[in-house]
Amino acid sequence: MTTDDNSERLRKSLRHYRGFVFRWQPYKALSPDWNHDHCKGCSARFAERPDEWKDAVHTEGWVTLWPTRGTPEEEQELVKKWREAGKLLVPSPKPGGFQLDWLCPTCFEACRQELGFVIDSEHPQWRKAGL
């Protein structure tokens, strides 16, 4: 498998972020129950404190806001269903109705041009999400 194939696959898996606005920032845990995230491209871990994890951890990266569709009520319903099945679902925090999606520098660079990622740290979307 060549590097080109890999980038091609990556761009396909990230194509729903086409034209999205990103900014570079330190990873911040949004709640005590939500202390890490994974790169949407390669699943590399993001966390505030790398020493708490055994794998390689990014402490900063590219973040974008993914608009979430479900209402809080629907989400509660889902959590309940999982609990009934004996499983634990921790809903991701959604500041201002957005979910924070992270990309590591490698995945970001690999897709940036082809997917038309926009870098704008002053975009109003960040304020809407309370960031």
- The answer to whether residue 42 forms part of the interface with Zn ion (CB under 5 A) is yes
Closest contact distance (angstroms) between CB of 25 and Zn ion is 16
**DSSP label at 112?**
T
- The answer to whether residue 10 forms part of the interface with Zn ion (CB under 5 A) is no
Residue closer to Zn ion, measured from CB, 44 or 65: 44
- The answer to whether residue 21 forms part of the interface with Zn ion (CB under 5 A) is no
Q: Tell me the CB-side half-sphere exposure of residue 24, using CA atoms within 13 A.
A: 6
Residue closer to Zn ion, measured from CB, 41 or 64: 41
Residue closer to Zn ion, measured from CB, 41 or 126: 41
Q: Tell me the CB-side half-sphere exposure of residue 15, using CA atoms within 13 A.
A: 6
Contact letters for Zn ion, residues 51-80 (x by CB under 5 A): ------------------------------
Strands (E), 68-115: 98-103
Residue closer to Zn ion, measured from CB, 38 or 82: 38
* Residue length of the chain: 131
Burial of 46 (0-12, 13-18, 19+ CB in 10 A): buried
- The answer to whether residue 41 forms part of the interface with Zn ion (CB under 5 A) is yes
- The answer to whether residue 100 forms part of the interface with Zn ion (CB under 5 A) is no
How many Å apart are CA 19 and CA 117, to the nearest integer?
5
Residues that bind Zn ion (CB under 5 A): 39, 41-42, 44, 104, 107
